Amino acid sequence: MIWKALRVGMAPLFVFATAGCEQARETAPNTQPPAKRPNVLLIVADDLGYSDIGSFGAQIATPTLDSLATEGLRLSNFHVLPTCSPSRSVLLSGMDNHRAGLGTMGELRTPEMEGYPGYAGHLNFEVAALPEVLQAGGYRTYMSGKWHLGSEEETVPHARGFEETFALVPGGGSHWADRRPLSPPQTMIYRRNGKVVESLPEDFYSTKYYTDVLLEWIGRDHSDGNPFFAFLSYTAPHDPLHAPKEYIDKYRGAFDEGWDVLRERRLQGLKDLGIVPADAKAFPRLANVPAWDEMSSEQRQHAARDMEVYAAMIDYMDEQIKRVFDELKRIGEYDNTMIIFLSDNGANGAMPTAYPGQAEEFLSTFDNRLENRGLANSYIEMGPGWAQASMSPSRMFKAFTSEGGIRAPLLVKVPGAVANAGGINHSFVHVRDIMPTILELAGIEHSQDFQGRQVQPLQGRSVLELFSGQAESPYAGADQVGYELFGLKAYIDGEWKILWMPPPFGKGEWELFNLQQDPAEMIDLSSEHPDRVEAMVALWEQYKVDNTVLDISLNLADTMK
């Protein structure tokens, strides 16, 4: 049962929803107050791989998230978008990225995209953003961390429904106070409640500071009786990889056996947990990734250190999440808070030269000696070898519409008792369904007439019954979804998926996979089932029309160099 708070004139009207009826009544003095409305804590990790937390088979210490998994539900078949900002646009709008304004990333817009709201490069105004809707419904709204959905005053988070914000406006950069960007054309801009932050504390480290400011707001406001929506949007473990030295030291030697061994170890961990089938095989090491034993000793040392830093970032993030959980427990709000943890896309296998405008002159200014890797003034990344391990058994990684780019871990805890707490659900769930689910929990209706502007109706639908253990599967059609980004395409229909990627990543024609039998997308069944391919291509073509998808490709080959 859910209390739905609506506003009629100046007086609140509460609608009590049951399974079979709805009865409206106006609150009156001396009557029993309605149940306290739930809080929502949405935690997003940046470029975290599918198996990078303990509850998904990792050998990285994540006790906080593992505990969350035992209290709630693990979703093994959760799908997002291939890269950061498109994923976040869907998360905060309940709409396809082409409708929400991120048909491509803002950094990669081209002249032929001008005039198309779906390619605005920011969260457009044809959608009502989740924080806008929750704020209008009486929620306090907080956002701390990465935004990446607009950099102008009218498109930053403080202008899109967040009451309190400390936001990294672009997609990434240094995790330290030096604010060194991902590439020379970019600048690292932080905004606090819309205003540019001129300087950061000397001891700034992104993961800790994002947590600090969120705890400040929650602690300040918790006694006012209003529910809150908190969006804790970490930049960890996005490159450049940075972590406090003592956390890096904790993983010294942990990855000395190399990425081939780790890829198989992660796969076995997933099998042991029942997350992937016992007979699943990992997509093989890419041709441009050297075998570990063929690398020089120095190359292996550097590569192992990079993965040590990556693991340290995740370990540290887990400890900061514990601080938030501890505070919610201290103020008596933990049990009344929906907690959602996810990654925005697959692990990042791209090299730093993939960023627009990147130059060797810029990269040469960093100190990437072994003893400084992961510390201030270093610029390192995990690269394709480790990214494949983090995404095992999937094909490829971030930026691709294959499963390695779009499958992510999802942990959910809803207020109250969950019948199957600690369980794993294998139903297909898409990121477009997160916003409608939160709105149903909050008891807030989504209206196409939002604060004087017409917005599009939600494409996603609530899966609250699934998250709360009241249903084993989501609504009919939840497992039908189209994809396009950078000219890479896919359509999923239940256990079947068609995939189009150019050489050398694909065949340059539609391939067909049975994801249940072949999660690594290695066995192309298109020649055996031509009728199914034809029918699914027709579905993708309709998806293209419905969402105004443009035929614009981006050469991703350089991301692998």
Annotate 236-282 with DSSP letters as a single string: TTPSSP---HHHHHHTTTTTTT-HHHHHHHHHHHHHHTTSS-TT--P
Contact (CB, 8 A) for 97 and 526: no
C-alpha 3/C-alpha 35 separation (Å) is 7
Strands 39-45 and 190-192: unpaired
C-alpha 291/C-alpha 134 separation (Å) is 50
The candidate with the shortest Cα–Cα distance to 57, out of 390, 309, 322, is 390
The residues facing 371 across adjacent strands are: none
Q: Any idea what DSSP says for residue 173? A: -
Contact (CB, 8 A) for 461 and 440: no
Residue 127 has which token pair?
A: 């959608």
- Specify burial of residue 295 (Cβ count, 10 A radius: 0-12, 13-18, 19+): middle
Q: Which helix (H) or strand (E) holds 22?
A: strand 22-26
Task: Classify 97 as helix, strand or coil.
Answer: helix
Annotated catalytic residues are: 84, 148
| Diameter of the chain measured on Cα atoms | 77
Q: Is 148 left (phi over 0), alpha (psi -120 to 50) or beta?
A: left
Residue 542 has which token pair?
A: 């309709």
Strands 39-45 and 337-343: parallel
- In residues, how long is the chain? 561
Task: Classify 293 as helix, strand or coil.
Answer: helix
Residues 6+ apart with CB under 8 A from 183: 352, 355, 356, 357, 358, 359, 362
Distances (CA, A) of 187 to 87, 98, 184, 219, 532: 22, 26, 8, 32, 47
